[in-house]
Chains A and B, each alone.
Chain A
């Protein structure tokens, strides 16, 4: 895994996606490329305005959406005070950045791979589909609430087979859950499933993955202060060393959360042991 570095990056462009309204504002922020040795899809970076941030002490973690020879790109929704401030960054704003951090999403060239994204959780898959050596083996199901242009979906659809499902009313969610159930079952025998999105979405993916013994990685998002394993504020309960890849069959003792096996789970830092965890090794509750 590439070694993380600390660098100062310059904002080169902040682009609103899909229009801005009071309820949702989505942005792609481009930054100068850090002088790092590289990164892998699924890893993240911590960003904080250089010299301080109006009394906010922490940097914020962002999935690395994409990086090319000149730019690093992150995708975010302006929801809290820090991300709303980010949306206002002018070109030339200097940020402290440290990364790449965390582990990478699994890449198996010849394995049919199902990408499941929910909302802003689409971010790591932008880089994933572009870096994958056999994109014809990838397929995505993307669930979202806001209009599709709010998300960097088109760039993915140009590379792989990708389907978008918008939740406009309560009944839509039920249909999407059925789709997830069906898709995960289809990929359980020989495939690989990767999922990123809000916790309820990941809980559903985990439930179906455990039901069908699908090999699934969940990309978790938690509150972090440091991103490097020191603050212990981002822990999740995990049952195995996260680096250990489980067998095709889920060990019986790693029963779903709430069972007696829960006692075998231990707190591990999402930032250094994750953010990508095998679904049968982590408790989301």
Chain B
């Protein structure tokens, strides 16, 4: 393949990436944390930690637990708030050469709209990813992502205030029919979808007879959920006419290709960033050789080419 470049053409706006490898929100900090371990500019883009209108302290400790081939988290969307992000973090990112995607979290459609307004005014933000699927907060979170009407309403509220920024809606797997939610978001004006967020789960300490997380339940991520994520990408990409970004357990360049084969236009690297801080950079570097190995000559011909018959 001559170039790794990929364009995600949304309903109204497009996202042009130098390659289809992004980092997932909540696993890559604000990007700055990873600067010692690789050149951010080689990435297709980064999705920063979920932002709210005001800073959030997040949930009590303990918040994380390692599980077989995965991990649970109940961070509770701790973040510095959108104002501090725009003032203190964003100027330090090489946004001219790196698409920086803001992830939005709010507890009402009105707040989502307000947050979108603030971020839409920022030139260095490439797109908005709407978090309607966090399982670790008591307000908002996956509540919006489990009801098609609410999902559509939140999407519309962000879209209305997002100006020329592409709007990506991040879907929850913790639903009966993810395609129903996907179609509702598309109808609400989403330019793209990303899926999946974490799966609701829990872990216990048998000896202590206590849950391993203070919030008892949390979100499962990592390679353990990759089969679920692939299934969701495959189903959603066939149910809607807008690009789908795959998320869920991708650890290597082969995994990225698997998601694209299932129908994704790009892939976010999540929990792998914790296992080795250069994981996303390494995947980008490995991509050309893996494309050659599997004889992939263009994204357009390869995307969704899974042979099911």
A residues lining the B interface (CB < 8 Å): 3-6, 48, 55-59, 96, 98, 222-223, 225-226, 228-233, 235-236, 266-267, 272
5 pairs of residues in contact across A and B, judged by CB atoms under 8 Å: A48-B276, A57-B274, A57-B275, A228-B34, A229-B29
Residue with the highest number of chain B CB atoms closer than 10 Å, among A98, A223, A231: A231
Contact at A232–B75, with CB atoms within 8 Å? Answer: yes
Residue of B nearest to A271 (CB): B33
Chain A residues with Cβ below 8 Å from B28 are: 230
Contact at A5–B276, with CB atoms within 8 Å? Answer: no
Q: Please report the C-alpha to C-alpha distance between residue A223 and residue B75 in the assembled complex, in whole angstroms.
A: 13
Question: Could you list 20 further interchain pairs (A-B, Cβ under 8 angstroms) beyond the known A48-B276, A98-B37, A231-B274?
Answer: A6-B278, A57-B66, A57-B71, A57-B222, A57-B271, A96-B276, A98-B276, A225-B274, A226-B274, A228-B37, A229-B29, A230-B274, A231-B64, A231-B75, A232-B78, A233-B63, A235-B61, A266-B57, A267-B78, A272-B33
B273 at the interface (CB under 8 A from A): yes
Contact at A58–B275, with CB atoms within 8 Å? Answer: yes
B91 at the interface (CB under 8 A from A): no
B94 at the interface (CB under 8 A from A): no
Residue of B nearest to A53 (CB): B275
Q: Please report the C-alpha to C-alpha distance between residue A56 and residue B274 in the assembled complex, in whole angstroms.
A: 11
Q: Please report the C-alpha to C-alpha distance between residue A56 and residue B271 in the assembled complex, in whole angstroms.
A: 12
Q: Please report the C-alpha to C-alpha distance between residue A230 and residue B62 in the assembled complex, in whole angstroms.
A: 16
Q: Please report the C-alpha to C-alpha distance between residue A262 and residue B25 in the assembled complex, in whole angstroms.
A: 30
Known contacts A57-B222, A226-B273; decide if A3 and B36 are in contact (CB<8 Å): yes
Contact at A6–B37, with CB atoms within 8 Å? Answer: yes
CB distance from B236 to the nearest CB of A (A): 26
B73 at the interface (CB under 8 A from A): yes
Chain A residues with Cβ below 8 Å from B278 are: 6
Q: Please report the C-alpha to C-alpha distance between residue A58 and residue B275 in the assembled complex, in whole angstroms.
A: 5
CB distance from A4 to the nearest CB of B (A): 5
Q: Given B33, B64, B78, B223, which contacts A225 in the complex, CB threshold below 8 Å?
A: B64
Residue with the highest number of chain B CB atoms closer than 10 Å, among A59, A223, A232: A232
Contact at A233–B73, with CB atoms within 8 Å? Answer: yes
CB distance from B229 to the nearest CB of A (A): 16
Contact at A229–B33, with CB atoms within 8 Å? Answer: yes
Contact at A225–B71, with CB atoms within 8 Å? Answer: yes
Q: Please report the C-alpha to C-alpha distance between residue A267 and residue B276 in the assembled complex, in whole angstroms.
A: 24
Chain B residues with Cβ below 8 Å from A55 are: 68-69
Residue with the highest number of chain B CB atoms closer than 10 Å, among A56, A58, A225, A229: A225
B residues lining the A interface (CB < 8 Å): 27-29, 33-34, 36-37, 57-58, 61-66, 68-71, 73, 75, 78, 222-223, 271, 273-278
Number of A-B contacts (CB under 8 A): 81
CB distance from B142 to the nearest CB of A (A): 19
Q: Please report the C-alpha to C-alpha distance between residue A24 and residue B273 in the assembled complex, in whole angstroms.
A: 33
Q: Please report the C-alpha to C-alpha distance between residue A58 and residue B27 in the assembled complex, in whole angstroms.
A: 13
Residue of B nearest to A236 (CB): B61
CB distance from A270 to the nearest CB of B (A): 10
Contact at B69–A57, with CB atoms within 8 Å? Answer: yes
Contact at A228–B277, with CB atoms within 8 Å? Answer: yes
Chain A residues with Cβ below 8 Å from B73 are: 231, 233
Contact at B75–A233, with CB atoms within 8 Å? Answer: yes
Q: Please report the C-alpha to C-alpha distance between residue A232 and residue B34 in the assembled complex, in whole angstroms.
A: 14
Contact at A58–B66, with CB atoms within 8 Å? Answer: yes
Q: Given B58, B65, B275, which contacts A232 in the complex, CB threshold below 8 Å?
A: B58
Residue of A nearest to B76 (CB): A232
Contact at A6–B277, with CB atoms within 8 Å? Answer: yes
Contact at B64–A223, with CB atoms within 8 Å? Answer: yes
Q: Please report the C-alpha to C-alpha distance between residue A187 and residue B93 in the assembled complex, in whole angstroms.
A: 45
CB distance from B58 to the nearest CB of A (A): 6
Known contacts A5-B36, A57-B71; decide if A267 and B273 are in contact (CB<8 Å): no
Q: Please report the C-alpha to C-alpha distance between residue A237 and residue B112 in the assembled complex, in whole angstroms.
A: 28
Chain B residues with Cβ below 8 Å from A231 are: 27, 64, 73, 75, 274
Chain A residues with Cβ below 8 Å from B58 are: 232, 235, 267
Q: Given B27, B68, B78, which contacts A235 in the complex, CB threshold below 8 Å?
A: B78
Contact at A230–B64, with CB atoms within 8 Å? Answer: no
Q: Please report the C-alpha to C-alpha distance between residue A228 and residue B62 in the assembled complex, in whole angstroms.
A: 18
Chain B residues with Cβ below 8 Å from A48 are: 275-276
CB distance from A43 to the nearest CB of B (A): 14
Contact at B274–A58, with CB atoms within 8 Å? Answer: yes
Chain A residues with Cβ below 8 Å from B277 are: 6, 98, 226, 228
Contact at B66–A267, with CB atoms within 8 Å? Answer: no
Contact at A230–B33, with CB atoms within 8 Å? Answer: yes
Chain A residues with Cβ below 8 Å from B34 are: 228, 230
Q: Please report the C-alpha to C-alpha distance between residue A197 and residue B276 in the assembled complex, in whole angstroms.
A: 27
Chain B residues with Cβ below 8 Å from A223 are: 62, 64-65
Q: Please report the C-alpha to C-alpha distance between residue A266 and residue B273 in the assembled complex, in whole angstroms.
A: 25
Chain B residues with Cβ below 8 Å from A235 are: 58, 61, 63, 78
Q: Given B29, B36, B61, B70, which contacts A230 in the complex, CB threshold below 8 Å?
A: B29
Contact at A232–B33, with CB atoms within 8 Å? Answer: no
Chain B residues with Cβ below 8 Å from A3 are: 36
6 nearest A-B pairs in the assembled complex, by CB-CB distance: A233-B64, A230-B29, A226-B274, A225-B274, A55-B69, A229-B33
Q: Please report the C-alpha to C-alpha distance between residue A72 and residue B178 in the assembled complex, in whole angstroms.
A: 50
Q: Please report the C-alpha to C-alpha distance between residue A56 and residue B70 in the assembled complex, in whole angstroms.
A: 7
